[in-house]
Amino acid sequence: MSNISVSIITIGDELLIGQTIDTNSAWMAQQLNEIGIEVVRRVAVGDVRDSIWKTLDDEIANADIVLITGGLGPTSDDITKPLLCEYFGGKMIVDERTLSHIKDIFTKRNRPFLERNIKQAEVPDSCIVLFNKMGTAPGMCFEKNGKMIISMPGVPFEMMSIMEDEVLSILRKRFISDVIVHRSIITAGEGESFIAEKIKDLEEALPTYIKLAYLPGAGMVKLRLTGKGANELQLIKEIALRQEEIANRLEDIVVALDDVPMEYILAKEFINRGATLGLAESCTGGFIAHHITQIMGSANYFMGSIVSYDPRIKENVLHVQKSTINKYGVVSEQTAIEMVKGASQLLGADYTLSITGILSPDTNDTNPVGTVWMAVTDKQDIKTKKFLFHYDRPRNKEIAVQMAMLMLWKFINKKL
């Protein structure tokens, strides 16, 4: 069977009111995509019996596989398990392996084992039990009219464990699907319209089984090639060829050929060059350093960040002249230059970046909200750039971090 389709149902009132963000669906879709199974719908539904029942009817009618997360806890609002028992015409029984596992968990935690906890080990006799080594709620696998329905806990690490240990193996054995291959090209400095025009002929020449998507981000555009077919080796070879053709055409603006965050791209640059990095952060408050240190091995090249949020720290630590601040302001090219010089001297890094800006309204600053100045140096040359972001404070902060890392990459590669 090819073109296997999946629908994901997430259950819980907390998802609908925004109390909990649904990260489960995105993670499941990624795992399914890797084995060539396509997610065609994602549906969130509250803890309401009739809504869940109708959603099951709808999704089973339109997909080969339905994955469900949520509603398997021991409290009264967790109604998924008894509903599934009724829906698939079974009766509740105790799964002995799960019961033994739950008792073991409570013994190790030195907590009393309650009657309510025994309920966690109950499952419909119409399902295949999927063992949950990370928690107390087992997963369940049902079949109806040739369709497969799998229910898992909503707790992300429990769901991931069941998916990796049980579900993906079941799906591989049961469903034969075309493989899906992705390749990416990360670009910076031009918009998607310019890129589309420049590679128009290459895009038009793509075979029907290879698609090109444009995914714009903060100062960057990711091009994603997606191929689908039965012959994996042949598909990988052709996708790589198309990726190379497009990358060669866009050579001046290509940042990377791997679909990884900017901090990974930077890490590779610094490690390959044996160079070091220092930062002087004001408006981002150490957030750039946070991104940099998310990468294992960052200690090999990252010297540190001086968070000079208060003007007095800029003056006393980074040696920004008070006269500079008085004349040009904290958010200015001149202040950014003196910040990067001071940080470069203090940290001794091969490359240093400074950032100062106003990310939300401030009565003490006349700059428009979203104004950010950055400076970068290699101890000899200094480059500066002014940005104006138009979002709220959290979004402005995140974009500023991404643009700072991109500015570093461009400076290192002499593209700034």
Low-confidence ranges of the chain (pLDDT < 50): 1
One DSSP character per residue, 250-312 reads TGGGEEESS---HHHHHHHHHHHHT--EEEEESTTTTHHHHHHTTSTTGGGTEEEEEE--SHH
Q: What tokens appear for 146 in the block?
A: 């040739």
Q: How many CB atoms lie within 10 A of CB 140?
A: 26
Q: What is the pLDDT of residue 131?
A: 94
- The architecture that CATH gives domain 262-412 is Alpha-Beta Complex (3.90)
Q: What is the pLDDT of residues 159-181, one digit of tens each?
A: 999 999 999 989 988 886 577 88
* CATH 3.40.980.10 placement within the chain: 5-174
Q: What is the pLDDT of residue 316?
A: 97
Which residues lie closer than 8 Å to 277 by C-beta, 6 or more apart? 266, 270, 292, 301, 302, 303, 349, 350, 351, 352, 353, 408
Domain 179-256: assigned CATH number: 3.30.70.2860
Q: What is the pLDDT of residues 304-335, one digit of tens each?
A: 999 999 999 999 999 999 999 999 999 999 99
**One-letter amino acid identity for 54?**
K
Residue 218 to residue 191: CA distance in whole angstroms: 11
Three-state secondary-structure class, residue 179? strand
Q: What is the pLDDT of residue 176?
A: 64
* CATH 3.90.950.20 placement within the chain: 262-412
Q: What is the pLDDT of residues 253-304, one digit of tens each?
A: 899 998 888 999 999 999 999 999 999 999 999 999 999 999 999 999 999 9
Burial class (CB in 10 A: 0-12, 13-18, 19+), 327: exposed
Residue 334 to residue 337: CA distance in whole angstroms: 5
Q: What is the pLDDT of residue 287?
A: 97
Counting other chains too, the contacts that 81-86 makes at CB distance below 8 Å and 24 or more residues apart are 81/122, 81/123, 81/124, 81/140, 81/151, 83/49, 83/52, 83/53, 84/124, 84/127, 84/140, 84/142, 84/149, 84/151, 85/124, 85/126
Residue 114 to residue 101: CA distance in whole angstroms: 14
Residue 256 · residue 372 · CB < 8 Å: no
* CATH 3.30.70.2860 placement within the chain: 179-256
Homologous superfamily (CATH) for 5-174: MoaB/Mog-like domain (3.40.980.10)
Residue 125 to residue 95: CA distance in whole angstroms: 9
Residue 129 · residue 136 · CB < 8 Å: no
Which residues lie closer than 8 Å to 318 by C-beta, 6 or more apart? 280, 306, 308, 338, 339, 342, 343, 346
Q: What tokens appear for 307 in the block?
A: 């968070």
Per DSSP, 167 falls in state I
Three-state secondary-structure class, residue 361? coil
